[in-house]
Amino acid sequence: MSTLFFNGNFYVGRGRRAAAVLVGKDGFITEVFGKIPDPALRLRPDVRQKDLGGVFVFPAFEDAHNHPAGRARAFYELDFRASEVPWGDVKKAIRERSRIVPAGQWIVCHGWSEKRWGKIAADELDEISPAHAVLLIHVSYHGGVVNKRGLSSLAEQGIVVRDPAAQETGRVTEEDFENVMAATAGDSGEYQKAIPMAAGALLKKGIVAAHDMNVTTFDQLDAYRELARSGALSIASALYIHSRLLRDEKRILSFVRDMQGDIEIFGLKLFLDGVIGTSTAAVSRAYRDGTGWGALRMHFSECKTLVRKAASVGLRHIAMHCIGDRAADFAVDVFEKLRKEYWRDITTWRLEHFEMPSERAIRALARSGGVASMQPNFNWDVAAYETRLGRDAQRLNPFRKLKDAGVTIAFGSDGMPSGPVAGIRWATLDAPFGHQRLTIDEAVEAYTIVPASLAGMDHVRGRIAKGYEANFAVFAQDPFHNSSGADDGVPRALWRRGVQVAGDA
């Protein structure tokens, strides 16, 4: 049976609204009405009626940079990312967890930053729970602190922490941190339970599709494959694998061939630098607080080898993490040098974060047709990073400059607790500076149709239009024309393919 959704304010792009939408039994839109349709349609016995009561309806969002698998483990570990909990309470929570976790096993806690809980060292974690391996994860997921028992456990597994200072401080960043995360990750069965939980949290934010930008273990891939087979995952997922997985090209090739449809492996993720929060983003001017310049994590030859391997196993996208201006310049150099060589195999080059691009990097990206995959919710960094970057913090996220230069911009949240509504507001109404400010239409497109186009789904996803999936994010008020941020950025309801999957509307 078809369903007529009426008495709504449907956003159909470029500031235009529709009053009603007819959805077929297959979950696709068959008609969009500029005004309430003829009463004859509303009286037909084969058409179900859904009176929306004057709510505002936007196309459901597609998060171009998220981490459903990587963050899923937080559902069975300690997670304080979304709460302002003092360090004393965190220590108490770790002690309580130590009473139920067998001695020698890992206790993992998410949400640390120096701004929130101060500088934490290994010996302090040892005092809290000396019998357990403890990992404190930085909010950026580019660093953390491991206690002495944890360092011993890693050594027993044959995992070498390369930074010699870590043996005293417990601080691990970038590759060392990635190795610790992989060593403490769950198995496929745990991820098969946790990834759908992460997907459920995304649905509540109005997200029906996510690009998982760092699938790091074969257990995560296996979980995704089993979820694809069972149909148990409630969101569409475009997967990007960490370069470490290309050490087993034959195994990756089997996953690429097996996974098609709503869950598919699209590309390779390369980490060219780190993040500002741990002073590992590669910048051209030293950090003001004396923490260095950051560093590039790869040489061009490494990038070329990995791109060749990616192409050989059928990956079509290359996504490069680049936050600092030095990393952004390097990323566009890699892109421009390799895109012609691999034009048959690699269809899309994505520069992830691209927070501090130079004018040269912006021009190069516009000229060569790459995509800036950015996180508008990171605009809060302008204030947060002034002590580390000084006036350079004002250069972060120049969305307006990029758009005016002709660069394609896709938006994502990086798996942060804030969702698309907060991100769109940060890029529009709440943008600190003019060079960051987009129009509402531009920002909504960056969070809907542009990510869908990257996944090759812009013909059926990302718009409220005839022939598209009936994916609706429903709000009591217009969240982008309200100074208070209507509904706190949380949709009242979410519909996917004509079926309500979240909320109470």
Say yes or no to pLDDT of 486 above 60. Answer: no
**Residue among 53, 19, 39, 62 at smallest CA distance from 469:** 62
Report the distance separating Cα 441 and Cα 395, nearest Å.
23
pLDDT score at 171:
97
pLDDT band at 379 (very low <50, low <70, confident <90, very high): low
| Average pLDDT along the chain | 94
Largest CA distance in the chain: 76
Contact 67, 213 (CB under 8 A): yes
Report the distance separating Cα 400 and Cα 433, nearest Å.
10
Condensed to tens digits (0 to 9), the pLDDT of residues 175-206 reads 999 999 999 999 999 999 999 999 999 999 99
pLDDT band at 44 (very low <50, low <70, confident <90, very high): confident
For 329, half-sphere exposure in the C-beta direction (CA atoms, 13 angstrom radius) is 12
Contact 463, 12 (CB under 8 A): yes
Condensed to tens digits (0 to 9), the pLDDT of residues 414-430 reads 988 778 999 999 999 99
Report the distance separating Cα 376 and Cα 361, nearest Å.
19
SS3 60: coil
**Residue among 410, 404, 405 at smallest CA distance from 424:** 410
Residues contacting residue 302 through CB under 8 Å, at least 6 positions apart? none
Give me the helices (H) in 9-147, please. 39-42, 68-72, 87-98, 114-117, 122-128
Find residue 351's DSSP bridge partners.
320, 372
Residue 14, class by beta-carbon neighbours within 10 Å (0-12 exposed, 13-18 middle, 19+ buried)?
exposed
pLDDT score at 393:
87
Contact 299, 249 (CB under 8 A): no
pLDDT band at 387 (very low <50, low <70, confident <90, very high): confident
Planar angle of CA 480, 486, 491, nearest 5 degrees: 95
Find residue 323's DSSP bridge partners.
none
Give me the helices (H) in 165-278, please. 166-169, 174-184, 188-204, 218-230, 249-258
Report the distance separating Cα 80 and Cα 84, nearest Å.
8
Say yes or no to pLDDT of 298 above 70. Answer: yes
Amino acid at 50: K
pLDDT score at 482:
64
Report the distance separating Cα 85 and Cα 441, nearest Å.
37
pLDDT band at 302 (very low <50, low <70, confident <90, very high): very high
Say yes or no to pLDDT of 40 above 80. Answer: no
DSSP string, 230-257: HT--SSEEEEEEEGGGGGGHHHHHHHHH
Condensed to tens digits (0 to 9), the pLDDT of residues 111-156 reads 999 889 999 999 999 999 999 999 999 999 999 999 999 999 999 9
Contact 398, 435 (CB under 8 A): yes
**Residue among 221, 233, 232 at smallest CA distance from 258:** 221
Contact 178, 241 (CB under 8 A): no
Percent of the chain residues topping a pLDDT of 90: 87
Report the distance separating Cα 419 and Cα 352, nearest Å.
17
Buried b (16+ CB within 10 A) or exposed e, 383-407: ebbeebbeebbbbbbbbbbbbebeb
Say yes or no to pLDDT of 228 above 90. Answer: yes
SS3 314: coil
Condensed to tens digits (0 to 9), the pLDDT of residues 58-114 reads 999 999 999 999 999 999 999 999 888 999 999 999 999 999 999 999 999 999 998
CATH number of 72-184: 3.10.310.70
pLDDT score at 183:
95
Contact 151, 130 (CB under 8 A): no
pLDDT score at 383:
63
pLDDT score at 39:
74
- CA distances for 83 relative to 71, 248, 263, 277, 376, angstroms: 16, 39, 31, 18, 21
Q: Is the pTM of this model over 0.75?
A: yes
At what angle are helices 325-338 and 300-312 packed, to 10 degrees?
50
Contact 227, 233 (CB under 8 A): yes
Contact 345, 311 (CB under 8 A): yes
**Residue among 178, 264, 211, 193 at smallest CA distance from 413:** 211
Q: 153: how many CB neighbours lie within 10 A of its CB?
A: 22
Planar angle of CA 302, 350, 408, nearest 5 degrees: 150
